[in-house]
């Protein structure tokens, strides 16, 4: 079970998630399974880049199944459940009309890939373009090139970059005249930097009239 909607951003969100299992875990063991599952799911989503103090993910295990342990299978299932819930939180985000899947490959390393994915996923211009169903490769590249890293910016060499919108290549070292299909509720942005082995994924919502309405009309 998970609850989200607004103020969703890694590390500190208005998010509450409770996972229950009858898999046999000894006291204290849950954390070692939960942390990696959270890292690649709940910590890779952003609705509005906003933080909160109410962030919690809890894993409860009662061992009632009495099954023989297969930790690899359990870790895999736990990761799958976390990813599904994290995805649903973004789909259910305030005003969301499209789920943006940001996938960065070819970065210098995973940390650089994550910084770029996070910047693209939180860019107001990428998010309004997604709402407008516009394949605006310039906004994606501008966001990627402005990803903050170690007091400077992440590395990006335009000539090496490939960018696809829902599988259609719109940029490969230079703009390509393509017309991607963007009408549906999913926008897959795949950005390959052509520089190294670093990869990262991120899920984000678009920025819409309804997001503004919900958060401007709310009164304290």
CB of 131 to a second copy, least distance (A): 4
CB of 172 to a second copy, least distance (A): 16
Rounded alpha-carbon distances, angstroms, from residue 2 to 5, 82, 107, 170? 10, 9, 32, 36
Q: Are 65 and 24 contacting, i.e. CB atoms less than 8 angstroms apart?
A: yes
Binding-site string for a second copy from residue 56 to residue 95, where x marks contact by CB under 8 A and - marks none: ----------------------------------------
Q: Which is nearer to a second copy, 26 or 179 (CB)?
A: 179
CB of 52 to a second copy, least distance (A): 6
If one counts every other C-beta atom within 10 angstroms of the C-beta of residue 209, the result is 10
Contact status: 49 vs a second copy (CB under 8 A): yes
Phi–psi pair at 33, nearest 5 degrees: -85, -35
Angle at CA 163, nearest 5°, toward 160 and 169? 110
Pairing assessment for the beta strands 168-172 and 2-3 based on DSSP bridges: unpaired
Give the rounded distance of the alpha carbon of 118 from its chain centre.
Answer: 8
Looking at 57-65, 102-110, 187-195, 208-216, which segment touches a second copy (CB under 8 A)?
208-216
Contact status: 177 vs a second copy (CB under 8 A): no
Residues 111-170 that bind a second copy (CB under 8 A): 123-125, 128-129, 131-132, 134-138, 142-143, 145-146
Contact status: 179 vs a second copy (CB under 8 A): no
CB of 110 to a second copy, least distance (A): 16
Looking at 25-33, 50-58, 62-70, 179-187, which segment touches a second copy (CB under 8 A)?
50-58
Q: Which residues are catalytic?
A: 14
CA torsion, points 128, 133, 193, 93, in degrees to nearest 10? 50
Output the six-digit token pair for 131: 């709402």
Beta strands in 74-194 (DSSP E): 99-107, 148-149, 152-153, 162-165, 168-172, 186-192
Q: Which is nearer to a second copy, 125 or 188 (CB)?
A: 125
Site for a second copy, rule CB under 8 A: 6-7, 12, 48-53, 123-125, 128-129, 131-132, 134-138, 142-143, 145-146, 207-209, 211-213, 215-220
């Amino acid at each position: 079970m998970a609850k989200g909607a607004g103020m969703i951003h890694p590390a500190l969100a208005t998010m509450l998630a409770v996972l229950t299992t009858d898999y046999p875990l000894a006291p204290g063991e849950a954390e070692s399974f939960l942390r990696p599952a959270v890292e690649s799911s709940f910590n890779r989503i952003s609705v509005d880049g906003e933080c909160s103090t109410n962030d919690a993910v809890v894993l409860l295990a009662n061992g009632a199944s009495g099954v023989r342990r297969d930790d690899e299978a359990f870790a895999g299932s736990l990761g799958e459940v976390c990813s599904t819930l994290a995805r649903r939180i973004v789909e259910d985000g305030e005003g969301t009309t499209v789920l943006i899947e940001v996938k960065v490959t070819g970065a210098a390393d995973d940390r650089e890939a994550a910084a770029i994915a996070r910047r693209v996923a939180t860019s107001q211009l990428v998010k309004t373009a997604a709402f407008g169903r516009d394949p605006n490769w310039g906004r994606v590249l501008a966001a990627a090139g402005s990803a903050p890293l170690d007091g400077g910016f992440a590395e990006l060499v335009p000539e090496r970059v490939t960018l696809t919108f829902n599988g259609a290549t719109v940029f490969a070292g230079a703009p390509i005249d393509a017309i991607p299909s963007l009408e549906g509720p999913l926008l897959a942005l795949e950005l390959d930097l052509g520089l190294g082995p670093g990869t990262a994924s991120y899920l984000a919502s678009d920025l819409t009239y309804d997001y503004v309405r919900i958060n401007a009309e709310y009164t304290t």
